[in-house]
Amino acid sequence: MAKMVDVQKYAKRLKGRLLELNERLEDIEQDLDEPVNPDAEERATEREGDEVLENLGNAGLVEIKKIQAALARIDKGTFGVCVSCEEPISNERLEVLPHAARCRHCT
Ligand SMILES: [Zn+2]
């Protein structure tokens, strides 16, 4: 019998990561909402900081989307199957990247 992908294990990890990302994004939003400093020089520094935060936020959002897609595949029963070639994604790959949608050949 072929070794089955332990979907529940990955579901747990994906959900944990999702919570973590959501919390981090909330923190970022709070930081971005802080009142603007009246001092011009300080303001420039803060703007740079805001950009860094925004980039972090965007990276987080991209990861959240991928995780949600992976959770949807779990619901549909297609988790661990490459969305391109429909071959199984290796456990080694899922171990590193549980939200992987494609096998390493199709990435
Ligand atoms: Zn593939």
Digit-coded pLDDT (tens) for 26-72: 999 999 888 878 888 888 888 889 999 899 889 999 999 999 999 99
In a domain, residue 61? The reply is yes
In a domain, residue 12? The reply is yes
CB 7 within 8 A of CB 74: yes
In a domain, residue 41? The reply is yes
Lowest mean pLDDT among 37-46, 66-75, 76-85, 94-103: 37-46
Q: Indicate the SS3 state at residue 34.
A: coil
Q: How much is the pTM?
A: 0.82
In a domain, residue 20? The reply is yes
Residue 2, pLDDT > 70, answer: no
User: Which positions ≥6 away from 105 have C-beta within 8 Å?
Assistant: 82, 85, 87
Query: What domain range is 51 assigned to?
Result: 7-77
User: Which positions ≥6 away from 51 have C-beta within 8 Å?
Assistant: none
Q: What is the mean predicted confidence (pLDDT) over 4-15?
A: 91
In a domain, residue 86? The reply is no
Report how many domains make up the chain. 1
Q: What is the mean pLDDT of the chain?
A: 92
Cα(75) to ligand 1 centroid in Å equals 20
- Residues for the chain: how many in total? 107
In a domain, residue 103? The reply is no
Cα(80) to ligand 1 centroid in Å equals 10
In a domain, residue 85? The reply is no
> What's the pLDDT score for residue 1?
45
Number of H helices, E strands in the chain: 3, 0
What is d(CA 101, CA 29) in angstroms, rounded to the nearest whole number? Answer: 28
In a domain, residue 84? The reply is no
Cα(101) to ligand 1 centroid in Å equals 9
